[in-house]
Every structure is written in structure tokens, then in C-alpha cells.
Copies of this chain bind each other. A is one copy, B any other.
Amino acid sequence: MKKSQISSALSDFFFEYETPRQVLVRNRRVGVVCRLIQLGVLVYIIGWVFIYEKGYQSTDIAVSSVFTKMKGVGYTNVNGVERVWDVSDYVFPPQVVLYLLMNSRLSLFQGEMTGVCVNTTNTCEVLAWCPVEDDRIIPSPPLLMSAENYTLFIKNSVTFPIFGVTRSNLVEGIDADYINKCLYHPEDAPLCPIFRLGDIVKLSGFNFETIAQEGGTIGIVIDWTCNFDVAVKHCKPKYNFHGLYGNPSDTGQTRPSLGYNFRYAKHYLENSVQKRTLLKVFGIRFDIIVQSLARKFDIIPTLTAIGSGVGIFGVATVVCDLVLLYLLPKREFYKNMKFKYTDTPIQVRSRQCAK
């Protein structure tokens, strides 16, 4: 008996189908208002959420690796002493954040710490490298004005871990032949990975002469905004440049720390005496910042958007019901059409059948 009951309940459940009963209100005003609201919701869901904001896609942020190489030879003539500067002289560690020496004040210090450098005056004796550095003078014009024509080569590899896609900034068409002769230009050669320093500085809003003398930091942003619903080859980097600190176009707040410089010492041993050359170097620091956002169709956000869209549709119905049941002149009539009351069933039936 129990078994047959269960199987009967199951067959009932499977062969039955529930659908809500509806009142079809034939009223021009309500009809138009409601259809417009529903249309608005539909346009929002399809137009805004799906087409404009691509709500059917999930997102992924890349992990990346950057490699740089700078090329160019500089020449300086300080007080008649000529000198040649090549990459190994003016680029500090060959990494993501790389530093280009632009200007420097050179002073050779003796290694023995005398501590009695100045003792004819009444000041206290200070133990220090000797002679003491004079911090006030910035050489002008800058030493390495020729750096304007140096070039910077950037290799960048990005991997989107969730989507399993790896891309390099040497995209399709950027082969050895092209790299040997190209130079980055925002419109004419936006994919060439070789950048002229003068161009970078100009595009970032700095003035080359100022930055060459006092130093500064330039952010080179490599922007990977990709849509993997189209072919992967359309996923290409975009390069942007902007001054990070002490940019002349910044508001006053960052002014206190204009310029970029640091002290750098080279150590020598001469006749078993430790000596060092202290350089206060002014230069351009390049921060290569990889920024990425990839999108791809995903069933979860798609169905979440559809499901919540249906919910918003329900809100539209609630709004229309409020109009129908509280604002229209015939609201009592509609209320009776829509609702059935449990406590006064006879009255309800009679009303309903009387209509």
C-alpha cells in the first residue's frame, strides 16, 4: 500500500505541471505603462548588462614578467675631461624598475676616516668620508642630454592563469625584421616594442631638459585589455606613459619631493687604502607597470545575469500591480479579480460570479 502510494505521488508529480493563474487586464493606460517598464528592464538586461558591460563574461588578471634592454652611447665633457658612457655605465640593475643616470656630481673621497678634516674652526670634529660632499649644486646643463636618442627595448610576457592563455608583447607580425627597423609611435607603430627615450618623456608630460637635470620617475604602463571570445591574436598590448612623482601637471601635493636622485658609491683599493667615489646621481627611473584584464564567456555570470534579470522583471510587475490596485479608479474591481479571500469565501464567490 505504502509503495503504491509513493509511486502514485511520484507519477502525480511527474505528470502534473503547475502554472500560475493570471488576470489579463485589458486597460490601455496600465498596459502601456507596464509594457514600457518591462521593455525598459529587457533593454537594460540585454543592452546594458549583456552587450555593454559584457555581463556574460568572467574576468581574469594576468601574472607577468618583464625584460628590458637599453641601447645608446653618451659623451660628456666636464672641465675638459672627455668621457664616454655606455649602457653598463648608466643603467642600474637590468630589471622591471630600471634606472637611467642622467646627471651626477662627482667627488672623489679619501678612504681613511680622519675625523679631523676641519679643526681650525670651533666646530666639533665629525668622523666622515673626506672631503665632505657639497649638496647644493646640481650640474647644469645635464651631463647626458644625448640620452634623448637612446632606445629602450621591452619584452613582456603575460599569463592569464584562469583562462590558460599566455601572450607576449611580440605579437603576430612583430618579427625580427620589424624590430630591427621599427620605433614606437602612438599612431604609426603602436606595437613596436622599441621606445626612444625622448618620446617616452614627451608622452609622459615631462620636459626632457628638466627631467635630465633634476631626475624623475616615469611609469610605462603596458595595458592588456583582452576579450578571449574573439581570436587570441586580437589581444594586443597598449602602451601608456605618465609621470609618477613630481610631474609638473600634478597638483601641489606631490611637489615636496620633485626630482629623483640617490647616492651611489664605487669602492676602490689603492695601495691598500680604501677609497670610494661617491656619485649623487640624478636620473630617470622607469617603472614598468603591467595592467591586465581579460574577459571570456562563462556560463555562471550569464545565468546569474539572466536569473537576476527575471527577478527585476518581477519588480516591474510589483510596480504595475501597485498602479493597478491603488491608483486606478477601477481599483476595487481589479482587486477582486486578482485576489480571492479565504475568510469570506462565499462573498468572494458571489462577487466574482456576479461580475
The interface of chain A, by Cβ under 8 A from chain B, is 13-28, 30-32, 34-35, 44, 48-49, 53, 55, 61, 63-65, 67, 69, 73, 75, 82-84, 86-89, 92-97, 99, 113, 115, 127-129, 153, 155, 157, 159, 161-162, 168, 170-172, 174-176, 179, 217, 219, 221, 223, 244-245, 252-257, 260, 262-270, 272, 275, 277-278, 285, 287, 289-291, 293, 299-300, 303-312, 314-315, 317, 320-321, 324, 333-334, 337-343, 345-346, 349, 352-353, 355
When A30-B17, A256-B179, A308-B304 are in contact, do A22 and B339 touch as well, CB less than 8 Å?
Answer: yes
When A168-B253, A338-B19 are in contact, do A65 and B127 touch as well, CB less than 8 Å?
Answer: no
A-B contact pairs, 9 of them (CB 8 A): A18-B24, A20-B21, A65-B289, A82-B115, A89-B265, A159-B221, A175-B256, A304-B308, A307-B307
The 5 A-B residue pairs whose C-beta atoms are closest, nearest first, are A307-B308, A307-B311, A176-B256, A310-B311, A88-B265
Q: Measured between C-beta atoms, what is the minimum distance from A123 to chain B in Å?
A: 16
How far apart sit A158 and B337, CA to CA, in the bound complex (Å)? Answer: 60
The A interface is mostly helix, strand or loop, or mixed, namely mixed
Cross-chain contact A67 with B31 (CB below 8 angstroms): no
How far apart sit A172 and B24, CA to CA, in the bound complex (Å)? Answer: 61
A36's nearest neighbour on chain B, judged by CB, is B14
When A170-B256, A263-B88 are in contact, do A15 and B26 touch as well, CB less than 8 Å?
Answer: yes
Given the complex, which residues of B lie within 8 Å of A320, measured CB to CB? 17, 19
Cross-chain contact A65 with B217 (CB below 8 angstroms): yes
How far apart sit A219 and B159, CA to CA, in the bound complex (Å)? Answer: 11
How far apart sit A321 and B22, CA to CA, in the bound complex (Å)? Answer: 12
Q: Measured between C-beta atoms, what is the minimum distance from A219 to chain B in Å?
A: 6
How far apart sit A25 and B21, CA to CA, in the bound complex (Å)? Answer: 11
